[in-house]
Amino acid sequence: MKRTDFAYDLPEELIAAEPLAERSASRLMIVPAASRGTRHGFVATDLLTLLRPGDLVVVNNTRVIPARLTGTKSTGGQVEVMIERIIAPHQVRAFVRASKTPKVDSLIELEVGYQLRVLGRDGDLFLLEEIEGRSLLIYAETYGHVPLPPYMKRQDSESDRERYQTVFAKHAGAVAAPTAGLHFDQALIEQIKANGVEWVELTLHVGAGTFNPVRVEDIADHQMHAEWYEITTEAAQRIQRAKAEGRRVIAIGTTSLRALEGSAAQSPDGQVRAETAETNVFITPGFAFRVVDCLFTNFHLPESTLMMLISAFAGYDRVMAAYREAVMQRYRFFSYGDACWFERAEHDA
């Protein structure tokens, strides 16, 4: 398939630049099996009716770090550092934006005299090291800015430190939020559990590569970015037990789905394994899903790898029709936008 097969027209005013006052107040588009029509509701009420006792919900408990840092080069020019991944306590892989490309062994000075040395290149990214061996994560948490997606077209505010983070975030390392999880507040989580739904957490650190556009026309030529994930022994056992007992597995967000299906795809028996690994699985129509039965997710960018993922999951024609309807119904799009529920298609529709 071609990149342009996943394009759709989106009025700019439907891009959500700010979150709603209440996390679970977002609208919810429900796209069930092909035999039933699309419905419209709200996360706070309708998600509870979609989840059944015995279902297993899987969420991503990664924590977003304030990954955007500003400073100057040794030559005096302004520079912006966007952390892509923390490699070690004092080393990161990062995008560097400056008027001129920084040279190897040159220094970048951040606020309060914090200095980074340029160690080298890694494709489009730079390897940077704090020259005194201090923790870059601690520095970022104090002086960094929330790395809001570029389509929001605004600077981050203090409130973004709380709202661009899930209420169940635990393990720091993401530079973009697992946005489907932003719809959950503690009251909704407690209701879900009280209704007999099993709650399981894994960790996938969302990288800046999630915003990389697909630049090739033939999607088979696209090189997918890799992301670090961890599935604990307990989580893997609970997921496999649910599958063995015929219970549904519900992925909250595409990052949870990528970890689950990436693990199963690499496993000889097609089962989710307890592991700490990286996945660069590129899910496109024709992909064989082994784990996830339903997907709760946000609305994604045109021509993006995530549009390709949900088209593989729910059926290309069904997804494209749902997006056209979402535009007509004036849903709010992207990270701070509304949500949708897709059931897995047996065959592309």
Q: How many CB atoms lie within 10 A of CB 67?
A: 26
Domains detected in the chain: 3-64+161-343 (3.40.1780.10), 68-144 (2.40.10)
Query: Alpha carbon of 313 to those of 90, 183, 284: distances in Å?
Result: 39, 21, 8
**pLDDT score for 259:** 97
List per-residue pLDDT tens for the chain, 349 residues long: 999 999 999 999 999 999 999 999 999 999 987 767 899 999 999 999 999 999 999 999 999 999 999 999 877 889 999 999 888 889 999 999 998 888 999 999 998 889 999 999 988 899 999 998 889 999 999 999 999 999 999 999 999 999 999 999 999 999 999 999 999 999 999 999 999 999 999 999 998 777 778 999 999 999 888 899 999 999 999 999 999 999 999 999 999 999 999 999 988 889 999 999 999 999 999 999 999 999 999 999 999 999 999 999 999 999 999 999 999 999 999 999 999 999 998 754 3
**pLDDT score for 348:** 40
Beta bridge mates, 249 = 56
**pLDDT score for 16:** 98
Question: Which pair of tokens denotes residue 63?
Answer: 């924590």
Question: Which pair of tokens denotes residue 223?
Answer: 């090189």
Question: Are 342 and 27 spatial neighbours (Cβ–Cβ below 8 Å)?
Answer: no
